[in-house]
Structure 1
Amino acid sequence: MRMDIRQITYFVAVAQNGSFSKAAEMLSLSQPALSLAVKKLEEELGAKLFYSFNKRQELTDEGRALLDSARELLDAYQRTVENVHTSRTSRSGTFTLGLSPLFGACFFGDLIPEFYREYPDIHITVIEDGANKIDERIAGGQVDLAVTLKTERLATFASCHFTTQRNVALLHRSHPLAGEKELTVAQLREEPFAIFNQDFILHRQILSACHSAGFRPKIALLSSQWDFMVELVAKNHAVSILPKPVMDKHPDPNVACVPLSDSMKYWDIALAWNKERYMSNACRLFLDFVRAHLPPDDL
């Protein structure tokens, strides 16, 4: 059986008008075409739906049985169409955001609550991980939108600029270099480092910068927790490299922050998503919201 919504519409129109000619006029359809469509429906159902009496089309028992269900079906179809149209401008829904804890600490503590105030019916599931892992989740379609660092891999995603910030060397306030205006990674070659682990792009960038400066860093700590690294610096057990916004929001009186001037000078952040995946309206609203509230670049 291949009964479709068009046939149901024609059947209901004839039943309501009691006439093929009046129904055809209402439907802007020729009477022969309408009669043929209803006849085909009767053949598919194996039942006579109308009979002629006193110049009217009256319903048979089978026709009356079909009419109530047909009306319910047309109502459901209309609601479905309206829901599709409404979804284009809906202010509700869900999506998944990939976010490094470091990005969250620097920028999203205010952004996400502000978004919720404007869009209370949109729910965000946040997946926290290092930027390396977040990039894998973008590629695998496990997140709808992500905040990541600008690297060569970013070219494989759809993306837009979020912010550029300065990186700083973290040293104990008593360190001989703590009073410098700027530092290079090379000046830290004798120091033990507390840095992010391999799940973070910053880990690879720091190792690469040290390699370019001609040394392999001594590692005192590999961690996923930036506050643990700051604690080691505050106790004069290590130095570290972190984005300046982290220390702006969470200063420590025992830690001096000295801007870097070499390849580690900047921290470039982007919003990225898999260009082969569909982006929901809820996710697009968040992307537009973030673009309208970008933090200023620190160049």
Structure 2
Amino acid sequence: MDITLLRAFLEVADAGAFSRAARRIGIAQPSLSLQIQRLEQQLGTTLFERHGRGVALTDVGKGLYPRARRIVDDVRAAEEAVRREVAEGFGSITVGAIPTIAPYVLPAALERLQHRHPGARVVLREDYSAVLVDLLREGAIDVAIAALPYDFGTLPQDVLGSEMLLVAVPALHPAARAGKITVAQLQDAPTVTLDPVHCLGEQVAGFCDARQVNPSVVCRSAQLTTVFEMVGAGMGLSIVPQMAAAKHNTSRCAVVPLADMALERDIIALWPRDRAPSKVAMTFVDCVRQVVNGAS
């Protein structure tokens, strides 16, 4: 049963005349009459008795009135509740994030979100870029936090900030004392890398290929924590994100910049193509942007 038709029915019943009801709700009387006819056709019965001065409810109409009133009032209350929750930042979002960003950005971003919208609920899915793309296309997540360069196809994206990529070296490595390392020093060096399934691993591999650097991979890991531990154990060098380096600070390894060039990655928010982001999702992404850019 169409809620619009029930509202029209209640307006006519309360006004006692089609013309008066039409003026109250601001529509043409023929349109209102048509709505009542459609409702009567749906129910297979007459709801109003027409007389010279207006209309009166039939017995069936009198029985429908309190039921229609409850339905319309419930719908109105639901609409008002939703609008209020949206305005106050209530609601839930499902967020995807890649593993090389999630542990370093999301905790602080979630704290900021809870401060701005205490009623917001976040469900988190940590996964690789390729999986997050599929989840966005399927509508399984509301937003994904990922990094460039990676081919995300035609998904809408917002760049939230950039992050330096540094080189983690064992504490006794000459680069640790020098406070920097050259691209030439990476040539043939034993290297601890992330698996290329990570977009960061793919980016580092592309960087090495472009500069004809051929490191000797001695460890390929799925986790940055393992990468730092293996570098600290003296297994080799690794190109790592600056945020991860700050988190995994240890006396067993040092983190230095490339002397020849600056290597960076852009951190982005990815959105589904077929729906507009909610207020909570947009606020969450703004919180991520603040964390990435070091806002206090």
Q: Which TM class, normalised by the smaller chain length?
A: 0.7 to 0.9
Q: Does 1:216 align with 2:214?
A: yes
- After superposition, residues 46-61 of structure 1 pair within 5 angstroms as 46-51=44-49, 57-61=55-59
Q: Report if aligned partners of 2:218, 2:236 keep a CA contact under 8 Å in 1.
A: yes
> Which amino acid in structure 1 is aligned with residue 270 of structure 2?
A
In structure 2, the residue matched to 1:89 is 87
**Equivalent AA in structure 2 for residue 269 of structure 1:** I
| Counterpart Cα distance in 1 of 2:289 and 2:283 | 10
Output the CA distance in 1 between the equivalents of 2:205 and 2:30.
80
Q: 1:153 to 1:60 in 2, by over 3 A?
A: same
8 Å Cα contact 2:190/2:216 also seen in 1:
yes
How far is 1:259 from its partner?
0.7
Return the offset for 1:139: 4.8
Alpha-carbon separation, structure 1, partners of 2:164 and 2:33: 76
The match for 2:223 is 225
Partner residue in 2 for 1:190:
188
- 1:110-166 CA distance string (max 9 Å, x none): 221221233222111111123454345445544322222222525733222222222
Given that 2:95 and 2:142 are in contact with CA atoms closer than 8 Å, whether structure 1 keeps it comes out as: yes
Find the counterpart in structure 1 of residue 126 from structure 2.
Answer: 128
User: Could you say which residue in structure 1 is the equivalent of 2:77?
Assistant: 79
- Contact kept, 8 Å, 2:170 with 2:231, in 1: the verdict is yes
SS in 1 for 2:175: coil
Which protein shows a greater Rg?
1
Q: Distance in 2 between matches of 1:257 and 1:185?
A: 15
* Contact 2:166/2:256 (<8 A) preserved: yes
Q: Which letter maps to 1:231?
A: E
1:259 pairs, out of 257, 260, 270, with 257
Aligned AA for 2:246?
D
Aligned equivalent of 2:286: 288
Please give the secondary structure, in 1, of the residue aligned with 2:177: coil
In 1, are the aligned partners of 2:106 and 2:288 still within 8 Å (CA)?
no
CA distance in 1, matches of 2:223, 2:161: 22
Higher deviation after alignment, 121-130 or 272-281: 272-281
Residue in 2 that maps onto 1:173: 171
TM-score, normalization by structure 1: 0.80
Deviates more, 1:43-52 or 1:189-198: 43-52
Partner of 1:97, secondary structure, is strand
Equivalent positions of 1:112-127 (< 5 A) are: 112-127=110-125
Separation in 1, partners of 2:194, 2:270: 22
- Report if aligned partners of 1:145, 1:273 keep a CA contact under 8 Å in 2: yes
Q: Distance in 1 between matches of 2:135 and 2:249?
A: 32
Measure, in 1, the Cα distance between the counterparts of 2:261 and 2:134.
25
Aligned-pair CA distance for 1:197: 0.8
1:72–1:172 Cα change, 3 Å = same
Shift of 1:267: 2.8
Q: CA RMSD in A?
A: 3.4
Query: Aligned pair in 2 of structure 1 residues 32, 115: CA closer, same or farther (>3 Å)?
Result: closer
Q: Deviations over 1:158-211 (max 9, x none)?
A: 222222222222221222333234323331223221111122112122222222
Q: Which residue of 2 is the match for residue 156 of structure 1?
A: 154
Partners of 2:206 and 2:50 in 1: how far apart? 88
Q: Percent identity?
A: 27
Contact 2:162–2:292, Cα closer than 8 Å, also in 1: no
Contact (CA 8 Å) 2:109, 2:284: kept in 1 or not? no
Q: Distance in 1 between matches of 2:28 and 2:211?
A: 83
SS of equivalent residue, structure 1 residue 179: helix
Alpha-carbon distance in 1 for matches of 2:85, 2:138: 26
Q: Unmatched 5+ residue regions in structure 2?
A: none
Contact map agreement 2:97 2:132 (CA 8 A) in 1: yes
Distance 1:24 1:159, change over 3 A: closer
Match of 2:65 in 1: 67
